[in-house]
Amino acid sequence: MNKKNVAVVMGGFSDEYKVSLKSGQLIYDSLDRDLYHVYKVVILKEEWYFLDENDNKLPINKGDFSVTLKNGELLKFDVCFNIIHGAPGENGELQGYWNAIGQKYTGCDFYKSALTFNKKDTLAVLSKYGITSAKSIYLRKGDAINADQIIAELNLPLFVKPNQSGSSLGISKVKEPSELAAAIEFAFKEDDEILIESFLDGMEVSVGVVDFKGETVVLGITEIVPDKEFFDYEAKYEGASQEITPARLDNETREKVEKIAKHAYKSLGMSGFSRSEYIIMNGTPYMLEMNTNPGFSPASILPQQAKIYGISIKDLCGNEVEKALNK
């Protein structure tokens, strides 16, 4: 059997690169060695490199995403398994580059990646399909900020978040008017665009949706109970939250969340992994965002949901590779 060469591509340009390296390691460990030759590729701002079996770095040729091995052999990849969180793997940049050189890759395409990485645009598109979200105000760096007007329109408490960022980086909950300026400054450190959203008082859930063997599957609904005010980076990756799968929902609400999550996935024409965040308030799910390259470390929600659903990580990752090969 002719094994395919699969590069697990991890790293990234943002503070999320540390999470991506953990996600990449799980995928690297899980892919079936009877079917694939599996390799590691790390993309950072400073360098793009291949890691051999002894963790020696070899430069990636950006002309065709190949690597020249120490023995002089040229290695090309049949598929790139993209597990970069944030730029350039989740915002469309890498997908556009791979399209240009004819490189096959997992996950959604350039346009869907760029769209879903932009919270404002995603929610605007999905509103046309009947999916609700919090009331919000959009600001660009340099815009005039009228704190009194923002608070009058959204009330307190409210949330300030980067428009294009992941892993809950740069998010603040504002409870007093005096906290707003610092929260806005904090969010602008992550992105030149921010969203200020009204507070939704309800249960936060994280919903994993994938296309598995030709079907759109809701892997699970996980209830998020943060030890702190909200589900921030520390809560996500350093254990400062309870994650309860399945979420403690009655059947009617569970079915409603599953239906909306599937509807959002299909409406955006998604492919590959996704994890969407919702607040359920008075029985109505309000969408916060969709992640198209969600965390995939052993501590992350999506692998936990897959395990409970009954799909092994090996099968889940193998499914992504096979879809990419058949594009």
pLDDT tens column, 5-33: 999 999 999 888 999 999 999 999 999 99
Determine the average pLDDT of the residues in 258-264: 98
The pLDDT value recorded for residue 165 is 72
**Domains and their CATH numbers in the chain:** 4-106 (3.40.50.20), 115-132+201-292 (3.30.470.20), 136-198 (3.30.1490.20)
DSSP 264-298: HHHHTT--S-EEEEEEEETTEEEEEEEESS---ST
The pLDDT value recorded for residue 235 is 47
The pLDDT value recorded for residue 240 is 63
Please say if the pLDDT value at position 219 is more than 80. yes
**What is the Cα–Cα distance from 107 to 116, expressed in whole angstroms?**
12
* Residue 81, burial from CB neighbour count under 10 angstroms (0-12, 13-18, 19+): buried
**What is the Cα–Cα distance from 188 to 73, expressed in whole angstroms?**
46
Please say if the pLDDT value at position 182 is more than 60. yes
pLDDT tens column, 76-111: 999 999 999 999 999 999 999 999 999 999 999 999
Confidence of residue 228 (pLDDT cuts 50, 70, 90): low
The pLDDT value recorded for residue 205 is 97
SS3 257: helix
- 217 beta partners: 210
Decide the pairing of beta strands 215-226 and 193-198.
unpaired
